[in-house]
Amino acid sequence: MPESDHSRTALTRMIAARHLNRVGGVLQALREVVLEQGHIERADEHVVANVFNLSQAEIRGIVSFYHDLKTSPQPPVTVKVCQAEACQAVGGRAFTERVEAHLGVELGDANERVALEPVYCLGLCAQGPSMMVGQRPVARADQCDLSHEIGT
Amino acid sequence: MRLVTRNRHVKVYVPLDTSAVAAGADAVAAAFADAGAEVVRNGSHGMSWAEPLIEIDDGGRMAYANVAAADVPDLVAQRGGHPKCIGPTADVPYLARQTRAVFDRAGEDAPLALPKSTVLADCLEQAPEAMIDTIETSGLRGRGGAGFPAHIKWRTVFDTPGEQKYIVCNADEGDSGTFADRLLMEGDPYRLVEGMTIAGLATGATKGYVYLRSEYPIAARIFQAALANAYDAGLLGTDILGSGKAFDLELFIGAGAYICGEETSLLESLEGKRGEIRVKPPVPAIAGLFGQPTLVHNVISYACVPAIMTNGGDWYANLGVGRSTGTMAFQLAGNVRRGGLVEVPFGITINDLVYGYGEDTRSGRPVRTVQIGGPLGAYLKPEEFDTPLTYENMMALGAGIGHGGLVVYDDSVDLAAQARYAFEFCEVESCGKCTPCRLGAVRGKETMDAVIQARGEGRAAEDKLAMIDDLCEVMETASLCQMGGMTPIPVTSAIKRFPEDFRP
Ligand SMILES: Cc1cc2nc3c(=O)[nH]c(=O)nc-3n(C[C@H](O)[C@H](O)[C@H](O)COP(=O)(O)O)c2cc1C
Ligand code: SF4
Ligand code: FES
C-alpha cells in the first residue's frame, strides 16, 4: 500500500475512534471523514465498519442515504444554489442558469475546479435567490458579481 | 475619523447571523472597527429585508438598513440624517407591531452573552406535574408542522417508565420559506437551552440532543459555543445551578436529508443509521431514541416554554384565537419587499402579513399566490388572504400552517411548474421505504411533464390530469409518512385553485 493510503486510513481510524462512544457516532464519523478527507473511499468504509463493529453493507447503506456523504473526490470549491420555492419565486431558476453559464458546469455536475450542486433551502428565504460558496452563505446572489463571489 | 461622542466610545451593533453575514455584515463590522467604534456582533432582529441592519447606540439605539462597508464613513458623519437611517430600533413599525414571546431577546445582545434569566431557577423548585399542567393550560401546540398539543407528549414521556428518557430538538428546518429555528439558535441560543432543560425537568429526562441540519454552519458554531458557556455557568450538567438535578445537552449535525426532519427518521439518524421512517405506533413519547421515552419538539416549541413558565399558562392561552393559542413566528419569504420574521398572536390575516408587513411583492407585480407551510403546503388564492391564520381555519381550507412559512409569488408564477416541482422534490427527498411515495413521485413528475408539454402544444391533457388525481389519492392514503402523504397537497391545491395554468 502506498504511503498516502496508509496515512489516509490512519486518519479515518482516528476519526472513527473519536466518535465510537458517542450517540450516532457512525454517522458523525462519516461526516467528519468527508470534512477532513473530502470524500469517503471504500477503504474508509472498511475502517469505519471495523471500528464500529458493523458490516460493510450497513456502512454502505448509511453512506448512500445522505446527500453530504460524498463517495468521489470533490473539486476544491463547491457552489450550492438554492432550488427551493422561496428562491424560485424571485428568479432562482434563471439565476441558476446564469451560474451554470458562468462556471460552464451544469447543476449537479463538476469540473476539476468547481462542483455545482442543488440545495433545498439555506434559510435565506426572504433574501433570495441564495447560494453557498464553500461554507459562505450569499444572499441576493442575483445582484452579486459572480467572478468576485465564486471566481471561475 | 474616530467614532467617539463626548469622549465615550459609541457601540455599534452588527449582526453575526446567517442573514446578515450573507448580506455582507462581516465587512461592515470591520469598517466600523476601523472607524474606532466598539462593535458588538448581536443576533438578528429578524428584519431580513434590512440586513445588514446595524444599530448605533449613543444613548439609544438607532437602526440603519441595508448598510454596506462603503456607507460607513458617511453614516458616521451624518448619523440620523443619513438616508439609510430608519429611526430608533424600537420604533421601527415592523418590530413595534409584533408581540414577541420567543424572539424578545433575539437581536438585543451578543448571542453568547449570558442573559439574566430566573425562569430555570424557578422551575428547578417546581414539581414536574405542576410544570406539565402549566403547559396544558397554555394550550401550546407543536410548531414543527402538525400542531399537536404539547402537554400530551410531555405527560406521556413523564408517565412512561424508562431507564433513560430523552429530550430531542428537531432543528432540521428543511421547509423552504422558513428560518425561525435558525434565527433563534443564532440570536438567542440560551432560550432553546432553557426550554429543553425545563422540558427535561418536567418529564424526567436527563439527556437531550439538538438535531441540526448541516446547511446551517453558522448556527452550529454559535450553538456549540453556547452549550460550552451554559455548562461553565452551571446551567447544564449534573448539578444545575446547585440543585442536584441533572440535564446534559449535545449538538448533533445531520448529513443532508430533508426526510430527517420527520421525527422517526430523525431518531434513526440520531442513532447513526439511515434516516428511514419508523412505522408508528409506537410514538416516540413511548418508544423513541434507543426505544426509550423521548420528547421530540421543534426548536420554537421548546423556545416558547420559558415565556410560558415565566408568565403563566393563562397568559399564553389568552394570546391567539380559540385553540390556536399564543404567538406564532411567521416567516415572510419569496417575492415580498419586506420579508423576515413576524412573531404575532395567531389570528393575523395573510393580507396583513403580505401587505401590512411585507409591503407587497419585491417585483412590484401583483401577488398571485402564497404557499403556506413549506413544500408540503397548499397554494392559496388572494381571495382567501383575509382568513385569520389559525390551525382550524387553515385546515378548513385544506391547508396547514406548518412551521409558519409563507412564500409569496407574483403573477409570473406557473402553477403547473410548481406542481411538477412538488413531485420532483418528493423524488429527491423520499426515503424510499414505501412504493406510493417512491414511485408515485416519479410517475407524478413525468405525468406533469406531459401536461405541461400538451399545454405548450395547445392541448388540454385531461386524461393525464385525471391520472394525477388518482395518483395523489394513492399517495395520500397509502404512504407510510407525510412526505408521500402530503406531497399531493401542493399539487392538488394548485390544480384546484389555478386550473387555467394546467390547460392552454
Ligand atoms: C417529511 C417531513 C419533514 C418534517 N420536517 C420537520 C422539520 O424540519 N422540523 C420540524 O420541527 N418538524 C418537521 N416535521 C415534523 C416532525 O415529524 C414532528 O412532528 C415535529 O418535530 C414535532 O415537533 P412539534 O411537536 O414541536 O411540532 C416533518 C415531518 C415530515 C413528515
Ligand atoms: S412516504 Fe416517502 S418518505 Fe415517507 S416512508 Fe414512504 S418512501 Fe419514505
Ligand atoms: S428557499 Fe432558498 S433559501 Fe430558503
- One domain for residues B471 and B496: yes
**Of the candidates A12, A31, A65, which is a domain's last residue?**
A65
Residue B26 domain-assigned? yes
Substitution target from A30, A125, A138 for chain B, most B beta carbons within 10 A: A125
**Which residues span the domain enclosing B423?**
415-502
- Where is B65: in which H helix or E strand? none
Give nearest CA residue, ligand 2 atom 1. Answer: B484
Taking the C-alpha atoms of residue A97 and residue A101, their distance in angstroms, rounded to an integer, is 6
Q: Are B209 and B215 in contact (CB under 8 A)?
A: no
Q: Give dist(CA A151, CA B8) in Å, integer.
A: 42
From B258, B260, B277, B425, the mutation candidate for ligand 2 (largest count of ligand atoms within 8 A of CB) is B277
ipTM above 0.90, yes or no: yes
Q: Tell me, what's the pLDDT at B1?
A: 45
Percent of chain A with pLDDT over 70: 97
Residue A125 CA, ligand 1 centroid: distance in Å: 19
Q: Angle CA(A55)–CA(A58)–CA(A59) in degrees, nearest 5?
A: 95
Contact B101, B301 (CB under 8 A): no
Q: How far is the CA of A75 from the centre of ligand 3 (A)?
A: 24
Please indicate, yes or no, whether residues A61 and A96 belong to a single structural domain of this protein.
no
Taking residues B385-409, report their average pLDDT.
97
Provide mean pLDDT across the span B364-377.
97
Residue in chain B closest to A59 (alpha carbons) equals B273
Residue A72 domain-assigned (yes or no): no
Same domain, A89 and A61: no
Q: What is the mean pLDDT of residues A2-25?
A: 90
Mean pLDDT of A74-100: 97
- The mean per-residue pLDDT over the stretch B449-460 comes to 97
Tell if the CB–CB gap between B335 and A127 is shorter than 8 Å: no
* Whether residue B433 is found in the same domain as residue B401: no
Region B314-328: mean pLDDT is: 97
Q: Tell me whether residue B431 is in a domain.
A: yes
Q: Would the CB atoms of B272 and A62 count as touching at under 8 Å?
A: yes
Q: What does the angle CA B110 – CA B115 – CA B118 come to, to the nearest 5 degrees?
A: 170
pLDDT tens, residue by residue, A90-139 = 999 999 999 999 999 999 999 999 999 999 999 999 999 999 999 999 99
Are A22 and A84 within one domain?
Answer: no
Tell whether B473 and B404 lie within a shared domain. no
Q: Does an H or E element contain B131, and which? A: helix B128-138
pLDDT of residue B332: 98
**Which chain B residue has its CA at the smallest distance from A131's CA?**
B22
Rounded Cα distance between B340 and B338, Å, is 7
**Smallest CA–CA separation between B159 and chain A, in Å?**
25
Claim to verify: residue A58 and residue A96 sit in the same structural domain: no
Same structural domain, B253 and B163: yes
Residue B401 in contact with residue B147, Cβ under 8 Å?
A: yes
Provide the edge-to-edge strand list for the sheet that holds B207-212. B248-253, B207-212, B166-171, B294-298
Give CA–CA dist B407/B372, Å, rounded.
6
Q: How many residues does chain A have?
A: 152
Say whether pLDDT at B234 is over 60: yes
Please indicate whether, in this complex, the C-beta atoms of B331 and A125 are within 8 angstroms of each other: yes
Torsion of CA B157, B163, B169, B175, to 10 degrees: -80
Structural domain total, chain B: 4
* Residue B105 placed within a domain: no
In this structure, is residue B241 part of a structural domain? yes
CB contact under 8 A, A85 and B253: no
Task: Determine the Cα–Cα distance for residues B132 and A44; give it in Å rounded to an integer.
Answer: 47
For residues B264 and B284, what is the distance between their CA atoms, to the nearest angstrom? 7
B375 interaction partners in chain A (CB closer than 8 Å): 84-85, 120
A8 found inside a domain: yes
Q: Which residue of A has its CA nearest to B417?
A: A88
Whether B130 and B237 map to the same domain: the answer is: yes
Sheet holding B367-372: strands in order across? B340-345, B327-334, B405-410, B367-372, B378-380
pLDDT higher than threshold 90 for residue B6: no
CA distance B208 to B218: 21
The residue out of B317, B336, B362 marking a domain boundary is B317
Structural domain boundaries enclosing A49: 3-65
Q: Which of B342, B377, B410 is the last residue of a domain?
A: B410
Alpha-helical (H) ranges within B35-98 are 72-78, 93-96
- What average pLDDT does range B441-454 have in this prediction? 98
Task: Assess whether pLDDT exceeds 50 at residue B7.
Answer: no
A60, A90: one domain: no
pTM for this one? 0.97
CATH number at residue A99: 3.40.30.10
Q: Are B207 and B72 in a shared domain? A: no
- The DSSP output letter for B79 is G
* One domain for residues B391 and B423: no
User: DSSP letter at B285?
Assistant: T
Average pLDDT, chain A: 95
- The domain tally of chain A equals 2
Question: Within a domain: residue B108?
Answer: no
Q: For residue B59, what pLDDT is reported?
A: 86
Tell me whether residue B109 is in a domain: no
- For residues B25 and B148, membership in a common domain is answered with no
* CATH code for the domain of B83: 3.40.30.10
Nearest chain B Cα to A136, which residue?
A: B22
For B285-307, write each residue's pLDDT tens digit: 999 999 999 999 999 999 999 99
| Average pLDDT of the segment spanning A138-142 | 97
CB contact under 8 A, B21 and A119: no
Strand partners, A78: A115
**One domain, residues A87 and A136:** yes
| B127-180 confidence digits (pLDDT tens) | 999 999 999 999 999 999 989 999 999 999 999 999 999 999 999 999 999 999
The cell numbers describing A27, all together, are 454517522
Show which of B410, B440, B467 is a domain's final residue: B410
Pair (B406, B423) in one structural domain:
no
Same domain, A59 and A95: no
- Residue B410 pLDDT > 60: yes
Asked whether the beta carbons of A92 and A128 are under 8 A apart, the reply is yes
Residues B233 and B124 in one domain: yes
Tell me the shortest Cα–Cα distance from A67 to chain B, in angstroms.
5
**Which residues of A fall within a CB distance of 8 Å from B261?**
none
Q: Which amino acid is at B264?
A: T
Worst-scoring range by mean pLDDT, A52-56, B72-76, B377-381, B485-489? B72-76
User: What is the rounded CA–CA span in Å between residue B286 and residue B404?
Assistant: 28
